[in-house]
Structure 1
C-alpha cells in the first residue's frame, strides 16, 4: 500500500479550506496536472480519507439563539439514547464525547432558556447533571498540519503500515494491516452474505 505523501496532505489542506476549488487551481499550487490532482483525490476517496464533500453552513446566520457550550452527565445505561437525541436536536450543531462519558455540545438555544430547552429535549431521568457556559464566539478550523496519517485495519483496528493490504470486498475498499486480517474479514463477510441470502 502506498503511503500518503506531502502532496496528498497539501491537496487535503486546500480542499479543507475550499472543497469547490477547481483541480486546475490545486494543480498549479502543488505542481501537478489537473488530471493528476483528480486521480489523487479519487484515490483519497477510495481509501476513505475523503468521505464526502459537504456544505458548511453557518447556522448562526440563519437562525437566532443563544450560543452555549453544554456539558451533560448521563446515566451510563442511557448514554447512547441521550447522545442520539442531542444529535437530532435542531439547536445542537456539534456534539463530543469525553473520556469520562460526558457529552459536550455546542448549541444555539432558542430564547436562551437552557433548562426549559433541556426539559423539552431530554428525559430528565436520563441526565445526572449539566453545566452551561455562555459563549461569545465559536470557530471551527480543522487542520491536518503536522498530522501523521495512519489508516486503521478494518478487521482488528491496528494501524495499517506499508506492509498492509487493500482489498475491495462487496464493492467497498477496505484497508488491512496484514493478509491474515484480510482473510478473516473476507470470511466473516462471506458468512454474513450467505446468512442474509
Structure 2
C-alpha cells in the first residue's frame, strides 16, 4: 500500500499522528511489518547498543492483551466503573496492528542512559515514519498502561526495561487532522558565541 511521495521531504511534511480508535483495516501485512521494523532499527544508536525492542501483538493475541489490561486496571482500581472497563477493552482492540516498543537500556561506560533514551525515541519515530511511507497511519500512546508494573512485567525481559509506548497502526478511517505546529521562530535560534 505504498504511498507515492514525490520527494522524501513531502513524506516528512505530511506525516501526522492518527487517533488509534480511528484506524481501520487494512493494516500492514507481515512483509510490511518486517520492513517497518527494519526501518525503525535504522536509527542513531551510539555504541550500536540497540537499547529498544519491538513486540508485535497480533490480532490473535488481542484477547489475551485485553485480559492483561483488565486485570492490571482492576488491580490498580478495585472498583472501576462500566465506562472505565469499556475504555480499557477499546484500547486493547483498536487498530489492525499493535506494536509495543520497550526501552531496553544497556549497561555502558561510554553511552549514558540519556543517549539510549534518545535512540529509543528515534526508533519510535522511524517506526511511525515507515508506516506512513507505506500508506498507513499510526498513533503512539502511553497512558496508564505504559506505566503499569503488571503490564510491563508481561512484556519486559529485563528488570530495567520500560514501555516507551503502544503503537497502533492501520488505515485512517477518517481524514487525519493537522494540529497546530510551533512557529519556526519559537523553536529555532542562532547561537552567535
Higher strand share: 1
Q: TM range, normalised to the smaller chain? A: under 0.3
Task: Give the alignment's TM-score, normalised by structure 2.
Answer: 0.27
Q: Which one has a bigger Cα radius of gyration?
A: 1
The structure richer in helix per residue is 2
